[in-house]
């Protein structure tokens, strides 16, 4: 088996590819290879039709049950010999309308198709310069084939994965693939081990990256889906759509309700056949009525609307949701796996410290913004308009020995870099000390440049100043430049360098490195014109050291602390180096005692089972590839965690898809990451994730509230319908009556509960257990308790009524109104699982007040308008009946308040006082 392209001997690689390092392929050979290997582009993503996407909205078990109930209602309506069309088919029409409404609400919110592979395709260069038949040609990038010889220079987008043949000061920007914030320096002749991670393959260039400086020639080794970018695309496809915990819980919950409905309906239908004496279509209608009573028809639509409203609130806070259930999923997160570059950090190299003249200076200001100050480490004041000479020399040399450019966006006013990020940081540093290149360069004439390369580890620019002196401005590695220095720029002038100076410089460089700073030495050599010809990079004067890093984002440290309070474990997954990543983790408070860091190379030697065992102790994952990020997410999932993955690069996309919720950066992220994510941070602020978590928890708590409200109200219906149907002589509620209660009178209060203000303590609670259901044991007891009270009140009306047919029909109308109005009182008790309805704050929820008032008014329409009475089978009620109706409807409030008071007393019982019995009648714990 041959070595991978990055480690293979260049001569062997060229022979294997049948390629030339000078003339390139012949036109005929290129055409043959294009036919054999295909176009240099990624496969088109599979498309779902609009019809398929709409049909997918009907997969919920509750929705399927409703469709079945509607079908039965159509059959029953068809067998009825009398009545208007609306009275015969009104039940089926009402059921189908709510099903269709829910489907289109879901489709509308999720209509944007996944376009991750489309975004990958856009990353590819539209054109490429290749050498064919000894001549350079510009061709379409999709026509590049293995063996082609690419000609690269600064600014080029790389069209295919290629092995470098020749390099001249080459550096590429690979953050989208590797996650590294600094440019990757390339060297065609450097030895690279076969197992080197992607970020260390200095002999290769990759599709989707760009050249930031230098020139190169490279032979193409892979095109299309065979490139590193293509492999990521295949991983994205292989992951597929992941169900969120809320979707899984709703599916499970719907299945449970479906089974209960079928069982109860079968029991009622069987009892009717055994008892005999009634036509089959009446028995079937009763069974349908029972199913309709048990199913909370408004649940799918109200859940969809609640999530959509939550989506709008999150969008106002800078979090854009692409998939509705993802609104809630962050609230369930137990692990946030965060990318470092651009997520926890700014993805902008920034000089933090400068050492010059024997003094250390702290530099303020972030990123490439040219505004900032210098502060002495010992607290001494620094005159910003008259900096010490050694510091001024250092800044001037940093500005002149530089090929980057700073540019300010006209719209956002944000400073950005054109070129190498390291050189951009040096330009910003110089500008902060009033030594911007624009002010320094006019007094210097550019003569020559010795570009950086991996052997010399330094860069030199030679200029002639206005005094006629030739000055070599040098920057590079400390261990390379320090031995070349013979002089030292001190505050009192340039003098010979002593051993003490060397020890101090070395100690400072080591100190900066231990703080995960990238350290560069700045030197210069002055010579008179025409004198001392020869090597200019000798007998240098040491000017200073600069320590730079990609700094943490503002607010990240506070956001990490909030995650800790909320019981969420934050981990860092990055393509950067282990030391740098660990230092950032410690700076932002991510690192705790006992935590461990691991590199991609170590991870590659570890099996999935071992990774799953160790993952709870691993806090930093460094130098990781896209595939390894995917493994890490899966390891956390295998431990039962709900995983939120944040990222901004192409290499993050597969893990974003695999996680329960993928959080992509909207400003600095790639299109691929944004399309793969479920939630997009419009402001790229990690702190926004915390707000999204808070919103997600509030939404889940409110979903529990309205589910408890709907189920407890439906339990009252179920008890009444089941008992009345068993009696046989009492007329049961019609399906239209039940649907009216479920959808019209119960729907608006449930929706109001869905937007109830969140509990301020939500972010001080641990995440709910990943295996927890939507409702707990206490909740189901409460549903039975509340439903029993409502159902018993309706049954009492039947029992106290005269048993003649006319009286019982009037009683049914009264029971209909009772079961419609009682939930409007009960809704106020559902605002808190523990607090009294009279202790909730605010005491009066305006949305809930308006919802209850509107529901009551709508229901009165069915009673007070004579034309609607035959449809709903209602009658005009006497004052005495109104009084009975209101008293019985409000009975649920004191009943629940008593249960809550008992529960609070039990909770306050001191330890050792005995195990308390479960107390029913409470809304779900939030």
Among all residues, which ones are annotated catalytic?
339
What CA–CA distance (Å, rounded) separates 185 from 15? 26
Residue 380, burial from CB neighbour count under 10 angstroms (0-12, 13-18, 19+): exposed
Residue 127 phi/psi, 5-degree rounding, is -135, 165
**Tokens 């969120």, residue?**
244
What CA–CA distance (Å, rounded) separates 157 from 138? 13
Would you give the distance in Å from CA 248 to the centre of its chain?
19
719 neighbors 274 (Cβ within 8 angstroms): no
Secondary structure (3-state) at 151: strand
The kind and range of the H/E element at 849 are helix 846-864
What CA–CA distance (Å, rounded) separates 504 from 510? 10
DSSP for residue 340: I
Residue 776, burial from CB neighbour count under 10 angstroms (0-12, 13-18, 19+): middle
- Looking at the DSSP assignment, which residues form a beta bridge with residue 222? 161
DSSP readout, 196-257? --GGG-TTEE-TT-EEEEEEEEEEEEE-GGGSHHHHHHHHHHHH-PPPPHHHHHHHHHHHHH
Strands (E) located in 778-868 = none
What CA–CA distance (Å, rounded) separates 692 from 761? 15
Task: Give the helix ranges, DSSP H, for 515-617.
Answer: 556-565, 578-587, 600-604, 608-614
CB contact burial 737-775 (16+ within 10 A = b; e otherwise): bbbbbbbbbbbbbbbbbbbbeebeebbeeebbebeeebb
Strands (E) located in 532-688 = 540-549, 569-573, 596-599, 618-622, 643-647, 661-665, 679-681
Would you give the distance in Å from CA 461 to the centre of its chain?
45
What CA–CA distance (Å, rounded) separates 192 from 8? 9
581 neighbors 574 (Cβ within 8 angstroms): yes
Residues 6+ apart with CB under 8 A from 666: 320, 674, 680, 681, 682, 683, 684
CA-closest candidate to residue 355, choices 478, 460, 537:
478
Residue 304: both structure tokens together: 């969809």
Residue 661 phi/psi, 5-degree rounding, is -145, 125
């Amino acid at each position: 088996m041959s070595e991978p392209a990055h480690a293979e001997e260049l001569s062997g690689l060229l022979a294997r590819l049948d390629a030339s390092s000078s003339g390139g392929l012949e036109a005929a050979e290129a055409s043959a290879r294009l036919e054999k290997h295909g176009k240099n582009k990624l496969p088109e993503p599979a498309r779902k039709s609009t019809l398929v996407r709409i049909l997918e909205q009907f997969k919920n078990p509750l929705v399927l049950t409703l469709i079945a109930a509607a079908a039965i209602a159509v059959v029953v309506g068809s067998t009825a010999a009398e009545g208007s069309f609306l009275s015969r088919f009104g039940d089926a029409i009402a059921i189908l309308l709510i099903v269709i409404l829910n489907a289109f609400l879901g489709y509308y919110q999720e209509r944007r198709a996944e376009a991750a592979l489309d975004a990958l395709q856009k990353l590819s260069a539209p054109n490429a310069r290749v050498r064919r038949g000894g001549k350079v040609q510009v061709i379409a990038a999709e026509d590049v084939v293995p063996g082609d010889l690419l000609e690269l220079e600064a600014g080029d987008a790389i069209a295919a994965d290629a092995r470098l043949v020749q390099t001249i000061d080459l550096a590429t920007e690979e953050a989208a693939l590797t996650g590294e914030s600094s440019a990757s320096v390339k060297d065609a002749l450097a030895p690279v081990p076969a197992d080197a991670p992607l970020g260390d393959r200095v002999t290769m260039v990759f599709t989707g990256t760009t050249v930031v400086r230098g020139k190169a020639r490279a032979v193409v080794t892979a095109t299309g889906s065979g490139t590193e970018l293509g492999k990521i695309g295949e991983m994205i496809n292989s992951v597929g759509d992941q169900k969120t915990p809320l979707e899984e819980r709703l599916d499970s919950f719907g299945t449970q309700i479906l089974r209960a409905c079928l069982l109860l309906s079968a029991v009622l239908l069987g009892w009717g056949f055994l008892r005999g004496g009634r036509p089959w279509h009446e028995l079937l209608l009763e069974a349908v009525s029972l199913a309709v009573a048990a199913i909370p028809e408004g649940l799918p639509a109200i859940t969809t609307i609640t999530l959509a409203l939550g989506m709008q609130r999150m969008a106002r806070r800078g979090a854009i949701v692409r998939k509705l259930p993802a609104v809630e999923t962050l609230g369930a997160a137990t692990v946030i796996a965060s990318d470092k570059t651009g997520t926890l950090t700014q993805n902008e190299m920034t000089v933090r410290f400068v050492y010059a003249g024997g003094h250390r200076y702290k530099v303020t200001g972030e990123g490439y913004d040219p505004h900032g100050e210098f502060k002495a480490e010992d607290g001494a004041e620094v005159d910003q308009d008259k900096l010490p000479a050694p510091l001024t020399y250092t800044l001037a040399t940093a500005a002149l020995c530089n090929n980057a450019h700073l540019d300010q966006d006209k719209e956002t006013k944000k400073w950005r870099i054109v070129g190498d990020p390291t050189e951009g940081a040096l330009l910003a540093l110089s500008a902060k000390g009033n030594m911007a290149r624009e002010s320094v360069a006019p007094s210097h004439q550019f003569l020559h440049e010795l570009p950086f390369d991996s052997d010399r580890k330094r860069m030199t620019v030679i200029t002639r100043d206005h005094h006629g002196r030739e000055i070599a401005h040098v920057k590079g590695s400390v261990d390379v430049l320090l031995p070349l220095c013979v002089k030292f720029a001190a505050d009192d002038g340039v003098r010979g360098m002593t051993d003490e100076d060397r020890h101090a410089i070395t100690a400072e460089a080591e100190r900066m490195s231990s703080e995960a700073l990238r350290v560069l030495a700045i030197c210069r050599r002055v010579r008179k014109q025409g004198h001392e010809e020869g090597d200019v990079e000798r007998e240098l004067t040491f000017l200073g050291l600069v320590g730079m890093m990609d700094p943490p984002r503002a607010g990240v440290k506070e956001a990490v602390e909030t995650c800790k309070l909320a019981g969420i474990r934050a981990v860092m997954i990055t393509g950067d180096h282990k030391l740098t990543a660990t230092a950032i983790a410690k700076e932002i408070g991510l690192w705790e005692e006992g935590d461990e860091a691991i590199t991609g190379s170590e991870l590659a030697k570890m099996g999935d089972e071992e990774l799953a065992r160790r993952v709870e102790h691993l806090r930093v994952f460094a130098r990781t590839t896209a595939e390894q990020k995917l493994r890490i997410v899966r390891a956390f999932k295998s431990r039962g965690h709900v995983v939120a993955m944040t990222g901004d690069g192409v290499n993050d996309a597969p893990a974003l898809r695999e996680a329960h919720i993928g959080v992509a950066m909207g400003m600095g992220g790639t299109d691929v990451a944004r399309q793969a994510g479920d939630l997009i941070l419009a402001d790229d602020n990690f702190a926004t994730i915390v707000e999204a978590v808070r919103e997600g928890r509030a939404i889940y708590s409110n979903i529990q509230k309205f589910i408890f409200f709907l189920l407890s109200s439906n339990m009252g219906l179920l008890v009444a319908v089941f008992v009345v149907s068993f009696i046989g002589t009492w007329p049961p509620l019609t399906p239209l009556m039940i649907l009216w209660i479920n959808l019209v009178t119960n729907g608006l209060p449930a929706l109001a509960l869905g937007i109830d203000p969140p509990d301020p303590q939500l972010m001080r609670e641990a995440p709910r257990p990943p295996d927890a259901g939507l409702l707990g044991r206490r909740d189901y007891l409460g549903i039975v308790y509340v439903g029993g009270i409502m159902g018993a009140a309706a049954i009492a009306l039947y029992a106290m009524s005269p048993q003649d047919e006319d009286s019982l029909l009037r009683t049914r109308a009264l029971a209909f109104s009772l079961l419609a109005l009682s939930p409007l009182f009960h809704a106020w008790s559902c605002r808190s699982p523990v607090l009294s309805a009279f202790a909730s704050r605010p005491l009066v929820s305006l949305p809930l007040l308006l919802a209850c008032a509107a529901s009551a008014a709508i229901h009165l329409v069915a009673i007070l308008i004579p034309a609607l009475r035959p449809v709903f089978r209602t009658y005009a009620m006497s004052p005495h009946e109104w009084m009975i109706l209101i008293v019985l409807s409000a009975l649920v409030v004191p009943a629940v308040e008593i249960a809550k008071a008992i529960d609070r007393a039990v909770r306050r019982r001191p330890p050792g006082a005995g195990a308390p019995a479960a107390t029913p009648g409470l809304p779900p714990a939030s």
